[in-house]
C-alpha cells in the first residue's frame, strides 16, 4: 500500500485546490492555471491501439472529481468514440471490436483465396 497522495492545482474559479490523487493517475502536466475546478481530470496510463507505428486510438481511466456528469465522474475515455464509458458500455464496445476483428479475419481469408486464384 502506498500513502494517499495529495496534490494542489491552481484554478481560475476556486484558487488553489487540494485533492486526493488516485494511485492510477499519471499526473496533471497539461493543467493550466486558468482551468476551472470542474476541468480537473485524473487520467490513467493509455491503452493504445497502434499498428505499424500509427496510433489508431487509445483509452484510459479518467475521473472528473468536480464535474457533474450523468452516470458518475469515473469512467474510461475511449478516443475512437470521443466518449467516456461505464463498465457495461466498455464491455459492449470491446465485444464490437471482437466482432470487427473476426470480420477482418474473414476478409483476409477471402483475399488469400482470391490471390491464390481460388476466386468465387
Q: What is the DSSP letter of 37?
A: G
CB closer to Zn ion, 26 vs 50: 26
Q: Interaction with Zn ion in 58-117: which residues (CB under 5 A)? A: none
Enter the C-alpha cell of residue 9: 492545482
Pick the binder of Zn ion from 11, 35, 42, 60 (CB under 5 A).
42
Q: Measured between alpha carbons, how far is 17 from 38 in angstroms, rounded to an integer?
A: 11
Which of 25, 61 has the CB closer to Zn ion? 25
Alpha-carbon dihedral 99, 104, 107, 113, rounded to 10 degrees: -110
- How many residues touch Zn ion (CB under 5 A)? 3
DSSP β-bridge partners for residue 50: 55
Q: State how far the alpha carbon of 65 is from the alpha carbons of 4, 52, 77, in Å.
A: 16, 36, 15
What residue is closest to Zn ion based on CB? 25
Q: Which is nearer to Zn ion, 35 or 42 (CB)?
A: 42
> Taking contact as CB under 5 A, which single stretch among the options 21-29, 49-57, 67-75, 111-119 is the one that binds Zn ion?
21-29
**List of residues contacting Zn ion (CB under 5 A):** 21, 25, 42
Amino acid at each position: 500500500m502506498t500513502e494517499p497522495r495529495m496534490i494542489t492545482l491552481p484554478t481560475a474559479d476556486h484558487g488553489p485546490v487540494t485533492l486526493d490523487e488516485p494511485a492510477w493517475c499519471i499526473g496533471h502536466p497539461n493543467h493550466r492555471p486558468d482551468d476551472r475546478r470542474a476541468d480537473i481530470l485524473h487520467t490513467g496510463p493509455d491503452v493504445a491501439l497502434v499498428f505499424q507505428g500509427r496510433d489508431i486510438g487509445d483509452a484510459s481511466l479518467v475521473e472528473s472529481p468536480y464535474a457533474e456528469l450523468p452516470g458518475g465522474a469515473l469512467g474510461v475515455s475511449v478516443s475512437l468514440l470521443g466518449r467516456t464509458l461505464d463498465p457495461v458500455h466498455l464491455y459492449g464496445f470491446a465485444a464490437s471490436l471482437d466482432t470487427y476483428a473476426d470480420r477482418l479475419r474473414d476478409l483476409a481469408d477471402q483475399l488469400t483465396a482470391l490471390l491464390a486464384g481460388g476466386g468465387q
